[in-house]
Structure 1
Amino acid sequence: MKTYIKTALLCSLLPFHMWAQEGVTNAFEDLQRTGVVAEESSVMRDFASPSEVATLLKSLPASGYFCFAEDRMHDIRVYDSIPRRWLQKDPSLRNVVSDNASPGEFFTWQIGVYAPSENIDDVIVLFDDFVNEKGQRIKKENITCFNQEGVGADGKKFSKKLQVAKGTVKPLWCGVQLPTNASGVYTGKAIVRNAAGKESPVMIQLKVSGEALPNNGTNEGWRKSRLSWLNSTIGRANTPTAPYTNLSVEKTKINYLGGYLELGSSGLPKAIVTKYDRSNQLNDNSINNVLAQQMNFVIETNNGVQQLKGSAPRFIRKEGGMVVWESKASNKDFAVTYTGKMEFDGFVNYQIEVEAKQNVEVKDIRLEVPYTDYASQFIMGMGLQGGTRKGKTLDWKWNTEKHQDKIWMGNVNAGLNFVFKGDNYNRPLVNIYYSKGKLNLPSSWGNENKGGVKVTDTADNVLLTAYCGARTMTKGQREKFNFEMLITPVKPLDMAT
């Protein structure tokens, strides 16, 4: 069965109303009409026959692999077959992209790397400057291959070497930022190189003319200039957006727009207060305590609850949009590192790493969150339909067949939403697609489905407990008990709308 490339930017690259173009499929309109994407008639799905491929292999380059240049209008969608259109070209033109472009455009193209007889390891793509007939240059720093370099989801730059499996085609998407005053015919070269240093060149010829395009051409989806957004850092600055205000720190208290979070000695919150009235408007006279007592992270063995000694939380980063702190605690059996991060909208992320100093039998490791009665009037998640908490019980166990890893409990103007995660967390797909991208069971909280979450009433509070159950930890073993916590409400209600 053929393997199809999943186009990550489908939603942004193909706008709902695309200008009619020969050979271009508008996936949204196809789905609206028929419920399927009609691309079977694409020339990129007219594959070369075995005899045609055999003829091609007689002209195998010295590099031991082929590089086929392809324009942006013909997406390489299949890995295990060669489009016939590549073989129908004159051999001298198979590695040439020749196209029209506009000044200011972020121009994109593809390179299809075909490995006919063996794996190709450590593939990299190098670029020369693009030069026009006037000698004007586009520096190679303005040219990129998205597969091998860019800006990751964490906002940090990355680079990597690529692999092409035997018998497959790997599409490499490339792009160049054209100056707004560019004109003439620019010629450049991309060089594909493998681990052995064997190279295969691809020539690019761009005839640049006309008016400069606004927004680098991203207004028109067919240009695929929006691929440049993959490397965007917009929104990465740690500055609040309206109506949020800068975070401020007073000793162990972190103030944000909706109230404050105060850290206890372990680095976990000992107080969370919101300042919203019952209409979800900010009011300094409204003091809503979410926690009845300090949150606790408990390690219990057959010898009882472990007593750990450590240092007070230390702030390691203070910015208007984000504050980060760390604390550590240990005893003869365990070392625990707490790393917390709070953002300007009340989002809090905790990473708690537990390391065993020796082989030890663990009875349970758990997070205890004592809510006030006021901040536990309503509950939703982990199988519970949203509504009042009174009369409802929660005794939930991990089961990745169900999309359940979140629990919210609170009142209209004070609450917490939790997401429990492990070090192997990947955001799952949703609704009918969940079966194609399920939650990963965290080895920490999940513990082979022994873990879960309980909500119980006590004499003093309403206690939410996330636990992992019994386990054996060997010397040097580390487990990460990570969780996200969002303080609600997220922002004041806009009464004007």
Structure 2
Amino acid sequence: MKLNLKNKQLLNRILILCLLTISIPLTAQIKYSSANDSWNPNQLGNHRVVLAFSGSGNVAKATIEWRRRDDKPELKKIIVQDASGKEIQNTKTENINRENGTIYFEPISGKGTYYVYYMPYVDEGTANYPKGIYQKPENKANAQWLSNIKANLKDNTSVTEIQSVNEFNSFYPMEVIATASETSALVAKNSGNSFLVFPEDREHSIKLKSDLPQRWIQKGVQNSFSDTAKKGEYLAFQLGVYALEDLKNVKVSFTNLVSTAGATIEAKDISCINTDGTRYDGTPFTNTVSVSKGKIQAMWCGIDVPQTAAAGTYSGKATVIADGKSKEITLQITVSNEVTKNGGIDSPEKMTRLKWLNSTLAQENTVIAPYTPLTVNNSEISLLGRKLILAANGFPAQIQTFFTPEMTSVTTKANDVLSAPIDFHFVDAAGKEAQWKNSGVKFTKKEAGTVSWENTSTSKSVQMDVNASIEFDGFVHYIVKVTALEDVSFNDINFQMPIQPTSAKYMMGLGQKGGDRPATFDWKWDVAHKNQDGAWIGAVNSGLQFSLRDEKYSRPLNTNFYLQKPLLLPTSWGNENKGGITVNTNQKSVLVNAYSGARTMKKGDVLYYNFNLLITPFHTINTDFQWDTKFYHKYSPIDSIAKTGATVINIHHANAINPYINYPFIEFKKMKTYIDEAHEKGLKVKIYNTVREVSNKAYETFALRSLGHEIYSPGKGGGFSWLQEHVGDDYIAAWFVPEIKDAAIVNSGMNRWHNYYVEGMNWLTQNVGIDGIYLDDVAFDRITMKRIKRVLTKDGHPGIIDLHSANQYNKSDGFNNSANLYMEHFPYINKLWFGEYFDYEKNQPDFFLTEVSGIPFGLMGEMLQDGGNPWRGMVYGMTNRLPWSDGADPRNIWKVWDSFGIKGSEMIGYWSENCPVKTNNEKVLATVYKKNGTALISIASWADADVNVKLNIDWKKLGINPAKATITAPEVTNFQPAKTFTAKDEIPVSKGKGWLLIVK
């Protein structure tokens, strides 16, 4: 038959494809197994090849097809051992590369088993921040043995299997790479395509970015995907996109899935988390996915199978679209008769919880106890214990609080925070200030949880649009848009907050340690080194935190990582580092002036001078909660904890029921059993779970990695060996627990992991019965905190939250104050624990009050570093936490609380003008816990030496007849001896110590 040109081309194509198919070697699959932790990986590494020597002589040779994902394996040491674990010195390597390598060694034990450890490392760094250093090749073989190696020696040793130290460290199957020839043949076979798609199930996370896995070579390019699901289950799957050319916009679309019986799973119930979803704040999430030539991108998709779906096999299409080109994948999903609850989230290993990434749970801004609904009366907005009065331009004309100096109640007497309205000032190049016409305040929302308003002010040269809101907890948010109506030059654009001196006793932030406010203060932006964009200025019962923000503000990293993702210098406020803040004082006002310096604006230019305010305090202090809530901060048997008098157990991570940092879902059954027992015996249980870093044991690790830098922060990699070997690069290694090899990765900031976090806390509350959470620093904002508080307190759960922070005033943390950094969370916190590196000995009372105690914000706290100072702590109602600090046992003070009956007493601190007891030494302070006919007086010294003091008692305020009064010091082990005093006695007070005195 004579072939025409078209037939010839077709025949040639068939021949080429046949040859290419033949060229792909059909090698036998090497066995991969776990060694069940049968060797110590430090020094030897996590991987070895098991060899069987069956030859003769003193030279064994093996060619190992290890298909390694690590780069430059020739730069890593090879260790050979015999079956007994004895290292063999006479070894030689040849042609070591990622695909294979040849090993010669002396078979010192004759025929039998030998081990080749091919990624040995040594852990350097610190215990909790290790640094795996891979050892370099060594040549220890003697020349005589090397001379025995014949050039034509054939392999006389076979590969039995490739082992990982345990299953978690295994590379099989998704990290066993295809060879270059296999990849080239596959690409040639599919020439003409701009990309290939490899469907993959949920149990085989795509992990490689630059290498095809051997598994895909063996399966070949597939045009279909099938799986099974239960009714109501979230069925995750992957579409692995392998780019044969640069791809700029990869998306996945879906058709309806239709069963053979005509039932339908609608396309709206199928989505791709890489490109679409819901942000942590409830707004739509969209993302553009690009894939460079030769790279792999996992597109994680999910089918939300309705509980009402009929059983049967459903078919439809998933279409991967990139730059106008597409690839269809047939989906065939079999839905069983079995119904699952909660979308199957009780089986997280099946990736069912990826659905949580797009959750909107608890997003509605409903009022959270103890707060009350906002009310609006003309320009006045009232909230719990506070009031905001608006000027016609939309800025605060006055802010008031109604808390007593003792912070124990709310009155009708107003404490004015401002001495004059807050306002902006635009000063042109001639020194003339802009004059405004404004539209007046227009309320755009009046809800129980949020009140919003807007205003437009216009001058000759600029227009200022104000959009603002206040929430039920006292958070005020301003978006201030400034538009140039003509070309204009300014000497300065500044923002002034005149504060009443009585509401400006203390200051914290902008590099100022918490304490007495300086009379004058000058600060400049330095975002590269300092996590500083605002401060708190206030008194105990009235104050204001302000923070200045760019319109593209992104929350920086904290806890040792600030320098790796610092603040963004605001274009407006910072003005190329011309901006800053000054504080100046006169008799009538403390003026906070945020200036931005000289600048020019062209007609149409826009600047955003956004800022936030927090009106403090948030609520009264709950002293009874403080006395009732005695924390035991350690995983221990319930009965032993109950004997201590503690009432709440805090379960840290790295233990049997909560082993993995910020991923408390793996041992949840053990956790529930423990919590059930605690509840039966009258104790509450809270767990460690926060957002800042997440364990590498998270089932979703590689699905999250597929999202680029959304969940995980970019970084230089390194750290623990597992991270280097499996995550590879572009991450920040965080906390590590050596006992259980738990290696965390730093989160990137505000992202959809917070949706997952909220759902996870809800699940733990409803299904495991947790009574709250212990937060160890916080990497999320107040939106997530409100959502967390809602789910923790739903259905009558107590929802106790305590916040711990190490002192953030250091280089790594950007020189911020922990209390200032986390103040936006304080409305929802029940107790503070500040913390490591807080010096309770050298710092003065104003530091204790502002940075440690929480009292100016409606909170109380506990001490940590070195057990704290028990005498000074009691002035603020604080002890340390059992059993955290050696030699500092709070139980003796707890006994005083109980024997005195401190619950129900009124705490009147030294900071209150109404405190009925003072001493005659200004450096020895007294706080009174007052009850009917009796009082507990705590005194503590900040004097430089031992002193004797007299008590100045206002007996009328104390409510005790002095003629019948007795003053006794009960014996408190490691605190004070038993002693009796009269009101006229001098009381000896040792340096840095004090007394607890009971007056009857």
TM-score band, normalised by shorter chain:
0.7 to 0.9
What is the TM-score normalised by the length of structure 2?
A: 0.44
Quick check: 445-454 or 144-153, which moved more?
A: 144-153
Cα distance change, pair 373–69 in 1 and its aligned pair in 2 (3 A): same
Identify which range, 120-129 or 160-169, moves more after superposition: 160-169
Does residue 348 of structure 2 align to residue 221 of structure 1? Answer: yes
Report what 1:81 is aligned to.
Answer: 211
Give, in angstroms, the shift of residue 446 of structure 1. Answer: 0.6
Compared with structure 1, are the counterparts of its residues 394 and 205 closer, same or farther at alpha carbon in structure 2 (3 Å cutoff)? farther
TM-superposed deviation, 1:50:
2.3
Q: Which amino acid is the alignment partner of residue 546 of structure 2?
A: F
Q: Output aligned runs, 1:92-103, within 5 Å.
A: 94-103=222-231
Using the alignment, how far apart are the partners of 1:446 and 1:170 within structure 2? Answer: 39
Comparing 348-357 and 486-495, the one that deviates more: 486-495
Question: What is the CA–CA distance in structure 2 between the aligned matches of 1:78 and 1:394, rounded to whole Å?
Answer: 53
Aligned AA (2:185): T
- Structure 2 residue aligned with 1:18: none
Classify the secondary structure of the residue corresponding to 1:285: strand
Pair 40,446 (structure 1): closer, same or farther in 2 beyond 3 Å: farther
Within 5 Å, give how 1:192-231 maps onto structure 2: 192-196=320-324, 198-209=325-336, 211-231=338-358
1:132-143 matches, cutoff 5 A: 132-143=259-270
* Cα separation, 2, equivalents of 1:470 and 1:170: 47
* Distance in 2, Cα, partners of 1:101 & 1:310: 60
Percent identity for Structure 1 against Structure 2: 37
Query: Is the alpha carbon distance of 1:394 and 1:34 closer, same or farther for their aligned partners in structure 2, counting shifts above 3 Å?
Result: closer
Instruction: Write the distance in 2 (CA, Å) between the matches of 1:210 and 1:110.
Output: 24
Q: What's 1:356 paired with?
A: 484
Paired with 1:344 and 1:161, the residues of 2 have a C-alpha distance of 37
How much does 1:210 deviate?
6.9
Letter in 2 for 1:64: S
Quote the residue 1:266 is aligned against: 393
Shift of 1:63: 4.6
CA deviation after TM superposition for structure 1 residue 244, in Å: 2.3
Confirm or deny that 1:405 pairs with 2:533.
yes
CA contact (8 A) 1:238 1:319 kept: no
Displacement of 1:195 after TM fit?
3.6
- With 125-134 and 352-361 compared, the bigger mean Cα shift is at 125-134
C-alpha spacing 1:219/1:394, structure 2 compared with 1 (3 Å):
farther
For residues 147-203 of structure 1, the C-alpha deviation after alignment (integer angstroms, 9 at most, x for no partner) is 22222344233556643333322221111112335544444431112343x321223
Q: Which amino acid aligns with 2:497?
A: V
- Whole-angstrom distance in 2 between the partners of 1:471 and 1:45: 55
Change (3 A) 1:419 1:39: farther
Report 1:415-430 matches (<5 A). Answer: 415-430=543-558
Q: Tell me what 1:17 maps to.
A: none
- Does residue 257 of structure 2 align to residue 127 of structure 1? no
Q: Which runs of 5+ in 1 are unaligned?
A: 4-30
For 1:456, the equivalent position in structure 2 comes to 584
| Aligned amino acid, residue 266 of structure 2 | K
Residue equivalent to 2:201? 71
Among 390, 402, 422, the alignment partner of 1:275 is: 402
Equivalence for 2:179: 49
Distance 2:553 2:396 in 1: 24
Q: How many Å separate the matches in 2 of 1:33 and 1:186? A: 49
Quick one: which of 404, 412, 420 aligns to 1:293?
420
Give how far 1:262 is off: 0.7
Q: Is the Cα–Cα contact under 8 Å of residues 63 and 200 in structure 1 kept in the other structure? A: no
2: distance between equivalents of 1:249 and 1:356? 33
CA contact (8 A) 2:519 2:583 kept: no
Give 3-state SS (helix, strand or coil) of 1:228's partner.
helix
CA offsets per residue over residues 437-487 of structure 1, 9 Å max, x none? 211111100111111112221231111111111122222221111111111
CA distance in 2, matches of 1:136, 1:268: 58
How far apart are residue 308 of structure 1 and its match?
1.9
How far 1:426 sits from its partner (Å)? 1.2
What secondary structure does 1:284 align onto? strand
Query: Aligned-pair distance for 1:264?
Result: 0.8
The structure with more helix, counted as a fraction of residues: 2
Q: Which amino acid counterpart does residue 345 of structure 2 have in structure 1?
A: T
CA contact (8 A) 1:2 1:79 kept: no
Q: Quote how far apart the aligned CAs of 1:64 are.
A: 2.6
What CA distance in whole angstroms lies between the structure 1 residues aligned with 2:466 and 2:190?
57
Residues 279/468 of structure 1: CA separation in 2 closer, same or farther (3 Å cut): same
* More moved, 73-82 vs 105-114: 73-82
> What secondary structure is seen at the aligned counterpart in 1 of 2:614?
strand
Letter in 2 for 1:252: S
- What amino acid maps onto 2:453 in structure 1? W
Which is higher, the Rg of structure 1 or of structure 2? Answer: 2
Q: AA paired with 1:169?
A: I
2:519–2:584 CA contact under 8 A, matched in 1 = no
CA deviations over 1:232-290 (Å, ceiling 9, x no partner): 22233232222222222111111122321010122100111122223434513342221
Deviations 1:59-107 (A, max 9, x none): 227653111112223333443332232222143xx34444443332212
Q: 1:462/1:66 Cα in 2 relative to 1: closer, same or farther (>3 Å)?
A: same
Q: Distance in 2 between matches of 1:490 and 1:140?
A: 46
Q: 1:307/1:33 Cα in 2 relative to 1: closer, same or farther (>3 Å)?
A: closer
Whether the 8 Å contact between 2:462 and 2:482 is mirrored in structure 1 is yes
Greater Cα offset, 398-407 or 355-364: 355-364
Whether the aligned pair in 2 keeps the contact of 1:2 and 1:80 (CA below 8 Å) is: no
1:240 equivalent in structure 2: 367
Matches of 2:169 and 2:486 in 1, distance apart?
59
Deviations 1:286-307 (A, max 9, x none): 4222111111111112322222
Is the CA contact 1:63–1:199 (under 8 Å) kept in the aligned structure 2?
no
> 1:313: Cα distance to partner?
1.5
Structure 1 position 124, deviation (Å):
2.8
* Residue of structure 1 aligned with 2:282, choices 139, 142, 155: 155
State whether structure 2 residue 380 is matched by structure 1 residue 253: yes
2:598 and 2:304 map into 1 onto residues whose CA distance is: 56
State which drifts further: 411-420 or 147-156.
147-156
Report if the CA contact (8 A) 1:336-1:354 is conserved. yes
CA RMSD of aligned residues (A): 2.8
- Rounded to whole Å, the distance in 1 between the matches of 2:306 and 2:552 is 42
How much has 1:207 moved relative to structure 2?
Answer: 4.2
The Cα of 1:39 is off from its aligned counterpart by: 5.6
Tell me which residue corresponds to 1:328.
Answer: 456
Alignment match, 1:313: 441
Query: Does 2:240 align with 1:112?
Result: yes
Paired amino acid for 1:381: G
Matches of 1:356 and 1:418, distance apart in 2: 26
Asked if 2 retains the 8 angstrom alpha-carbon contact of 1:340 and 1:351, the reply is: yes
Q: Which amino acid aligns with 1:49?
A: T
